[in-house]
Each structure stands twice: as C-alpha cells, then as structure tokens.
C-alpha cells in the first residue's frame, strides 16, 4: 500500500494543457497582466501538469512560458511563480547555482545546507543531472571550489546520493554506532569529525533514528546538544540540519519557515523555496509541525508577514489554516511524544554569562565608584565596567564596603547620578536576586494596570527557595505579604494560580511513572469537562508537580489524548489563565527557550519593553543566559547580541544602556 499523500497541491481534475496555455497567454496579452488569473491557474496545477502547460504554450505560441512570466511579473511574486513552473530538480539546481555566487558576493551556506541535507537519494541524483544539463558544470566540482574543510567533505558525501535506503537497519550496529559517535566527541578531548561524517552521511534514516535514541541513553543528552558543543560554524549547522531531517523533515522545514519570517526581515528566498518544493510532498505535515512548535499556524504567519499577490499564492500553496487545535496527524503525534521524551531525558548544563571577577578588590571598587560619581558629571563608563563585570555576591560586598568605608549608601548615590533605563539596569544589578524579584513584582502591580506577563514569568520560573526568599524580601520592603498583594490585584482562577505558585511549595521529586500516567489521564479527561473544572484540574497538577515529573505527564498526555498540551491550553483556555498555564508548559519543556521567546517579544513590535528586557537580563545573567542566547539564535536566526544592538538604539542617546546589556549578554553568536 502506497504512502498517504501529504501535499496540498495535487493533479487538477479535468486538466487541459492547451486551454491552460491559452488562458495564461490571454492573461499576459496587451497592456498589463491579469496576475490573479496567473496565480489561480499555476498554484492549482501539479508540477507535472505545469510542465505539460509549458510545452503546450511553446507549441501554440512559439514562446517560452517562463520567459513571458519573467517579463510580465516582478519581484517576489515573479520568483515564486517562476519557481513553481520549473521541474523540481531544475528548481533545486537554480537555487544551488544562485547560492554558489560567481560574483564574489559570498556563498549562501544556509541554502546549500537546506537542500543537500534534506533530499532523498533519487532527488539528489536528479539534482546533479539537472545542474549539469542546465549549466554545463559538475555540481560536485563547484561545491568543492566554493567550500572548505569538514563542511565541504560532508556536502560531498551527501551529494553522492548513496545513503542506505530506509528499510536498511543493522540492529547489531545501532549500539556500536551510538558508542562510536560518543567516543568521537563527548568522550575525548577534541572531536573525530570523520566519524560523524561517515555515520551521519551514510546510514539509513531508520537506522540513525535508533542510533540517536541509543546515544541519548549513553550521553544523557541529545545528539543535537553534542553537535552544538563539539562542532562549530557551517559544519555544525550542516550536521544539525542532517540530524533534524533524520528525525523529521516536516519539523526541519517548519523551523526553516519560522526563521524565514521571524527576526530582522523576511528571508523570502527561503520561504519561496520551501513552499514550492514541499507543496506536493509533505506540506500538511509541515503545517502540523509548525502548529506544534510555535504559537500560531503557518497560514496565519504567512498572512501577517507577506502581502499582495505574493501572499495569495503562498496561502494557496499552504492550503489551509490550522489555528484551531485538533487531533494530531500520526507523524506529528510521534514527533510531539518524542519531543517530550527528549526533554525528559536530556540533562542540560546551565551557564550564565557573568562570573565572579578574578582579581576582586571590594575596597578598590568602592573607591572607584565614589570617584566616578564625585564632582561635576558622572563617569558612566567606570560604573558600567565595574557593576557589569562583577557577580551579584561581589556587588553585595561592594555595597557593604562602600557604606563602611565611605559612610554612604551606594544605591542612593547611583540613583542620584544615573537616569532612565541605565539607572534601572544598574540598580537592578546591585540588588540581591530576592530584592530584585520583589521589586519587579511590586512594579508589575503598581499603577493603573497590572503587568500579568511579568507576574507569570517570575512565579513560574523561580525555584521554591527563590520564591520563598522573594516573599521575605517583599514583606521587608513593602510591609505587606506578596500573597496579600496578589490577592488584591488579581482575581478568579488567575489569582488562585499565582497564589499557588507563590507558596514556593512545588514538589521537587523525580518523575514517578505510574503517577505520571494517572496525571496524564486526569488531564485528558478534564479536557471534556466544564471550563472551570478543567482549569481546577490543570492548576492542581501543573502548579504542584515537579518539572521532571511534568515532562513525563505531558509526554503521556499525547498518548492519552492524541493532542499536545500546549495546543489544548491555547484552544480551551483564555486570558491570563491561558498565559500562566502556557508559561508553565513552556518552562517545563525548555526554560531557556521560554526566556528567549520572552526577550524576543520584549524587543519586537511597537517599541521595546525595557522593563522585561532588564528583568530577564539581570535575573538570568548568572544562571542560564548563555543557554538563552543559544536558544534565541536557534529560534530566530539572529543573535541576541544583534537584536539588543538594533532594538535598543532608539531612545538610548548615549549608548550606555545598550553597552551594559551587551556586556551582560556576554558575546555574539
């Protein structure tokens, strides 16, 4: 039995190549062109039918259809329509040729990686032949001439199109291959890249999926995490792409599509290439994976990020909207289950970006800070250099020494000398973590409106000890308990969720498999209950169980319901309750990724949310800001460093606020 068709574009019924050719000729005849007629026709025919139309057009009118389309259309719309008209292998060949620039403009490595990491043996062999036919050149020679090192070697291996077929699984080699990969990287000083190239470039997809599962058991981390720590540059990016394609091509493409529309501008070449090449293969699965991984459907994202006839054509290729959560397609259910399984098994090593200063001298720092604030004007550079390069424990020593040595309150002096966002950032760094969290909670409840997102972010992501210390600091500073403050400022189920989290009494045990199955079934049953009962049940489990336990619960929830917990929350809940539950799930799955998303939202849109930016950069700089940076780059295809440079420019006339944030960021990725 053949594999079920998962594309969005199929053969058009009652197809007539001659009449379609005539319709296209008429749409381009005379002054101007009927773009709507062109896109409606081309986007509703399969590629094989388009080739028949092209042949009919030439025989009827003596002209090349692609040449006429290029003449009549412009910009992104032209690139998209012409891309649809090329046979798949020739479209790939054109993309590769454009990626290997002859003009000295540089190589588009991301395009090379995307195509060569994701094509089947047959597609690869067709691509090599099409490249030779179209350009009279040998693709392998061009790739060798344009790349270098291990990156070049892996591309050449992939270009052979000789990967073992999917039904080839050497069961006796699975454990050995996993051990060989571990020995080639994590287990030794330096990396044996040749072993990675040989195994990842030649073994079958099914075999490697089993190898990756075995590797996770040996290394206690995913193969992706090992590649990130052992390899670098374009070679790292290529090997990650190969692994992602082996795990799930639809998820790989969903990530590429998301990155093409997020970050600084739209990468239209990537967007066009994927929508063209996957529309007849697995676009339904890509849509489902997109919905699983991100907070909106692919359809909605295209709608928000593009315009005009270009947008209308992309939406036809997309084929429909998935924003309403439904049951998973089989592949997406397996991916969702596997994602939670990897999350549960992976031991993440958290890294901050600010460490204790080596030659620390609290008296010298106190004197230097006093000198920077004494007399006419303020030496902001000295203040930034000292405060941003010391750990929080060292800053507390400086505070004490400043008072005992000089008889002055350092916080008061800094407040009088600095202003605006720089003042808020430097004072935040000088507070203890508990004082800072208490201050941020107070600020979130002050004034006309409540910043519910800040309340959620702090209470969801802090440990029991951090929450208890924050509650004490809040009581000391504001003479009211945090619980009473929350009770007076919020209401309903949202208030109950926050008060539950503010107890700092979340269980801290490892996962209990039997109990996880019970909890998962209770959550699945609750999805059919009244909304109030459902929220009660979700709160009783999500606000109290340990994070390791919840990872197992959410994994088993997929099996119990054939749905993903994030999509259920998005569909069945609303407002602040939805946001709080969603934040818990995101933090359980991958807390650095949750913070990366919060940072992205703080800097995109109309103006920067500087309070959120300061809160996260200060509170995470000694805990996991390095991990957050990596997740930011992975998700948005632009570095956190780059975003801070661009997005904090407005209103920061001196650049001191930006400079301090960049020191905390700790480097460019």
Asked if 276 contacts 84 with a C-beta cutoff of 8 angstroms, the reply is: yes
Are 418 and 453 within one domain? Answer: no
Q: What is the dihedral of CA 92, 97, 98, 100, to 10 degrees?
A: 130
On the 0-12 / 13-18 / 19+ scale of CB atoms within 10 A, 107 is middle
Listed residues 503, 524, 556: the one ending a domain: 503
Are 605 and 653 within one domain? Answer: yes
* Residue 410 placed within a domain: yes
Please list the alpha-helical segments (H only) found in 604-624.
610-620
* Residue 490 placed within a domain: yes
Q: In the prediction, which pLDDT does 103 show? A: 45
Are 74 and 162 within one domain? Answer: no
Listed residues 87, 117, 148: the one ending a domain: 87
* Residue 465 placed within a domain: yes
Q: In the prediction, which pLDDT does 448 show? A: 75
Are 76 and 105 within one domain? Answer: no
* Residue 509 placed within a domain: no
Q: In the prediction, which pLDDT does 348 show? A: 77
The DSSP code sequence of 419-437 is: -HHHHHHHHHHHS-HHHHH
Are 181 and 310 within one domain? Answer: no
Are 368 and 419 within one domain? Answer: yes
Q: In Å, how far are 137, 433, 459, 577, 630 from 583, measured between CA atoms?
A: 52, 21, 10, 10, 20
Q: Which of 260, 321, 320, 314 is nearest to 42 (CA)?
A: 314
Instruction: Give the domain extent around 369.
Output: 362-430
Mean pLDDT by 10 residues, the chain (669 residues): 77 96 93 89 97 97 96 95 97 95 71 96 97 96 94 96 86 91 77 90 94 91 88 92 95 93 79 97 92 85 93 95 64 78 79 95 97 89 97 98 96 95 97 98 90 97 98 98 96 96 96 96 89 90 97 93 85 93 95 94 82 97 95 86 81 78 90
Are 96 and 240 within one domain? Answer: yes
Q: In the prediction, which pLDDT does 187 show? A: 66
Q: Phi and psi for 231 in degrees, rounded to 5?
A: -110, 175
CA atoms of 594 and 457, how far apart (whole Å): 9
Residue whose tokens read 């480097």: 667
CA atoms of 380 and 307, how far apart (whole Å): 45
Are 185 and 236 within one domain? Answer: yes
Instruction: Work out the angle at residue 464's Cα, subtended by the Cα atoms of residues 462 and 469, and round it to the nearest 5 degrees.
Output: 85
| Tokens representing residue 401 in the block | 């020494």
CA atoms of 411 and 426, how far apart (whole Å): 9
Q: In the prediction, which pLDDT does 528 show? A: 81
Listed residues 484, 503, 522: the one ending a domain: 503
Are 113 and 225 within one domain? Answer: yes
Asked if 429 contacts 388 with a C-beta cutoff of 8 angstroms, the reply is: yes
Asked if 444 contacts 455 with a C-beta cutoff of 8 angstroms, the reply is: yes
* Residue 119 placed within a domain: yes
Are 185 and 302 within one domain? Answer: no
| Tokens representing residue 463 in the block | 């440990």
Dihedral sign from CA coordinates of 82, 83, 88, 93? positive
Are 274 and 422 within one domain? Answer: no
* Residue 42 placed within a domain: yes
* Residue 528 placed within a domain: no
| CATH code of the domain containing 56 | 1.10.220.10
CB atoms inside a 10 Å sphere around CB 148: 11
Total domains in the fold of the chain:
6
* Residue 291 placed within a domain: yes
Residue whose tokens read 């009244």: 530
CA atoms of 122 and 127, how far apart (whole Å): 9
Are 102 and 195 within one domain? Answer: yes
Asked if 303 contacts 311 with a C-beta cutoff of 8 angstroms, the reply is: yes
Q: In the prediction, which pLDDT does 345 show? A: 75
Asked if 164 contacts 203 with a C-beta cutoff of 8 angstroms, the reply is: yes
Q: Which of 416, 419, 459, 491 is nearest to 619 (CA)?
A: 459
Q: In the prediction, which pLDDT does 293 show? A: 83
CA atoms of 50 and 10, how far apart (whole Å): 11
């Amino acid at each position: 039995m053949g594999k079920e068709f998962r594309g969005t574009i199929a053969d058009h019924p009652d197809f007539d190549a001659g009449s379609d050719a005539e319709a296209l000729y008429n749409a381009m005849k005379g002054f101007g062109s009927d773009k709507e007629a062109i896109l409606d026709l081309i986007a509703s025919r399969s590629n094989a039918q388009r080739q028949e139309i092209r042949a009919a057009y030439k025989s009827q009118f003596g002209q090349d259809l692609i040449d006429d389309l290029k003449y009549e259309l412009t910009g992104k719309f032209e690139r998209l329509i012409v891309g649809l008209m090329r046979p798949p292998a020739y479209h790939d060949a054109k993309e590769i040729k454009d990626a290997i620039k002859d003009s000295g403009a540089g190589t588009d490595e991301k395009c090379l990686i995307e195509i060569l990491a994701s094509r089947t043996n047959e597609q690869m062999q067709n691509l090599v032949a099409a490249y030779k036919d179209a350009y009279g050149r040998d693709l392998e020679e061009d790739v060798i001439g344009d790349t270098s090192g291990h990156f070049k070697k892996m591309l050449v291996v992939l270009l052979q199109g000789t990967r073992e077929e999917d039904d080839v699984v050497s069961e006796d080699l699975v454990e050995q291959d996993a051990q060989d990969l571990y020995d080639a990287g994590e287990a030794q000083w330096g990396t044996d890249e040749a072993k990675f190239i040989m195994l990842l470039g030649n073994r079958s997809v099914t075999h490697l999926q089993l190898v990756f599962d075995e590797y996770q058991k040996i290394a206690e981390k995913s193969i992706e995490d090992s590649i990130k720590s052992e390899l670098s540059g374009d070679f790292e990016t290529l090997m990650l792409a190969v692994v992602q394609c082996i795990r799930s091509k639809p998820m790989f493409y969903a990530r590429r599509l998301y990155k093409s529309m997020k970050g600084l501008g739209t990468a239209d070449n990537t967007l066009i290439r994927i929508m063209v090449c996957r529309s007849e293969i697995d676009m339904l699965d890509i849509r489902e994976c997109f919905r699983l991984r991100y907070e909106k459907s692919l359809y909605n994202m295209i709608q928000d990020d593009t315009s005009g006839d270009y947008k209308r054509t992309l939406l036809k290729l997309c084929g429909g909207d998935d924003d309403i959560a439904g049951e998973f397609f089989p592949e997406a259910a397996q991916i969702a289950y596997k994602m939670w399984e990897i999350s549960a098994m992976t031991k993440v090593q958290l890294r901050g970006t600010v460490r204790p200063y080596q030659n620390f001298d609290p008296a010298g720092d106190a004197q230097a800070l006093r000198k920077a604030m004494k007399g006419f004007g303020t030496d902001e550079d000295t203040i930034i250099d000292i405060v941003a390069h010391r750990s929080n424990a060292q800053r507390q020593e400086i505070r004490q020494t400043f008072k005992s040595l000089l008889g002055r309150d350092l916080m008061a002096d800094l407040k009088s000398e600095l202003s605006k966002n720089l003042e808020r950032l430097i004072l935040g760094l000088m507070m203890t973590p508990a004082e800072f969290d208490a201050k941020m909670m107070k600020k979130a409840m002050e004034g006309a409106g409540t910043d519910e997102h800040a309340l959620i972010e702090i209470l969801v992501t802090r440990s029991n000890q951090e929450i208890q210390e924050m509650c004490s600091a809040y009581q000391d500073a504001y003479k009211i308990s945090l619980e009473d403050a929350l009770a007076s400022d919020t209401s309903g189920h949202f208030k109950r969720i926050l008060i539950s989290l503010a107890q700092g009494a979340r269980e801290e045990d490892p996962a209990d498999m039997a109990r996880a199955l019970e909890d998962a079934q209770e959550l699945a049953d609750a999805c059919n209950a009244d909304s109030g009962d459902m929220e009660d049940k979700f709160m009783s489990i999500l606000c109290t169980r340990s994070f390791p336990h919840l990872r197992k619960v959410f994994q088993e929830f997929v099996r119990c319901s054939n749905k993903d917990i994030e999509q259920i929350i998005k569909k069945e809940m609303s407002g602040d309750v939805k946001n709080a539950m969603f934040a818990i799930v995101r933090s359980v799955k991958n807390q650095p990724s949750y913070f990366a998303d919060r940072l992205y939202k703080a800097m995109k849109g109309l103006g920067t949310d500087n309070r959120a930016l300061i809160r996260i950069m200060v509170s995470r700089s000694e805990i996991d800001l390095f991990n957050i940076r990596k997740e930011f780059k992975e998700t948005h295809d632009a570095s956190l460093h780059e975003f801070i440079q661009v997005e904090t420019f407005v209103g920061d006339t001196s650049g001191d606020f930006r400079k301090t944030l960049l020191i905390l960021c700790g480097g460019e990725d």
